[in-house]
Amino acid sequence: MKNVDYIIVGDGYAALFFAHQLIKNNKSFILFSEGRKSASQVSAGIINPVVLKKFTTFWLAQEQLDFLKTSLHEIEQYTGSNYLIEAQIHRIFHDENEQKLWLKKSQTPELTHFLSEDFNDINEVKNNFSTGKVKQSARLNVKDFFTDLLAYLEEQKYLVKEKFDYQIFDTQNSLYKDYYFRNIIFCEGMGVKNNPFFSNLPVVPNKGHHIRVKLSKDLSENITIKKKHFLFPLHNGLYFYGGTYDRDQLHEKVDESAVEQLNNGLSEIYCKEFSVEEVHFGFRPTVKDRRPIVGAHSIHKNLFILNGLGARGILNGCYFANALYENIEHSVELPKEVSIDRF
């Protein structure tokens, strides 16, 4: 039998960022990974402080950006790699009214640090009304982030590659298989619906597709272009284009209507030929109030959840993994906006 401070169940952003907190603070733990590609692992990796449909920001945007950069620097110390791609978002304007609205909002205290007042033209895509640049935006190298961190966890004997079995979970004695644990953190995304301790929580799946395409003429800059969806280069000569949002078509296969939507969206801005090489999809765990769900089970006080990260999995996952750690270890109160107690 082994004693550990924590068990983590899951292998998406929430799980890996919480694991980072434990590594940083010299806590013993085991992470159970089912090995299926989560929504996190097929995500775009966009780091964006602005709601690009309305040109607004969101709660704790600057704090989350700052904390993410610090955390990625800390992670680099033990993986040896930098996963932050300093490639800013360029939002294509639909018309002159959007230009004017962007410029007006860029001069407000709330958005002056996020919206550039300078407009740019991009040669390879259709942008008749130019583009606006989102300051402090970036991307995460998603593929290497997950590959490297999971490899590090395996190398350090933190990783168990198997599905967590609730049937043999002894909550009374804080025991799972050969592990006595002090706390257990469930970071399962939509897998929460199969979790008998947290299945009642209002986490709703939002299915997202993206395509990976080969462009007949490459973009001249490593930037992220946004109109209906995001377009940016990957490391293997392909380009990412996506993603869609769908709360209705929730079957475990590709929706051709989503692929058509992406094809049409890319054709609107890229007038040359392209070919679709791959199609990917995942199910984002979302909550109606657009806030994560963080905190302890109402009866089993050493069972915790970190879920509902939605489309901002990187920022939410990093920031609220730390908030949960501080809550458990130092009794720092969780923000009421994300606390499980609101349900």
| Pair 233, 218: CB distance under 8 Å | yes
- Asked if pLDDT for residue 236 goes beyond 90, the answer is no
Average pLDDT, the chain: 97
Percent of the chain with pLDDT over 90: 96
DSSP state, 229? S
- Asked if pLDDT for residue 37 goes beyond 80, the answer is no
> Which pLDDT belongs to residue 177?
96
Buried-state track 131-168, b at ≥16 Cβ within 10 A, e below 16 = bbbbbbbbbbbbeebbebbbebbeeeebbbeeebeeee
pLDDT average, residue stretch 21-44: 94
pLDDT average, residue stretch 76-105: 97
Question: Coil, strand, or helix at residue 235?
Answer: coil
Q: Rounded CA gap, 182 and 164, in Å? A: 17
| Alpha carbon 28 to chain centroid, angstroms | 25
The Cα angle at residue 195 between residues 150 and 169, in degrees rounded to 5: 80
Q: How confident is the model at residue 38 (pLDDT cuts 50, 70, 90)?
A: confident
Q: How confident is the model at residue 270 (pLDDT cuts 50, 70, 90)?
A: very high
> Which pLDDT belongs to residue 249?
83
Q: In the numeric block, which tokens belong to residue 318?
A: 């990093």
Strands (E), the chain: 2-9, 29-32, 46-47, 84-85, 89-92, 115-120, 131-134, 138-140, 159-160, 169-170, 175-176, 179-186, 204-215, 224-226, 230-233, 239-242, 274-286, 293-296, 303-307
Neighbours of 243 (CB within 10 A): 26
Neighbours of 119 (CB within 10 A): 16
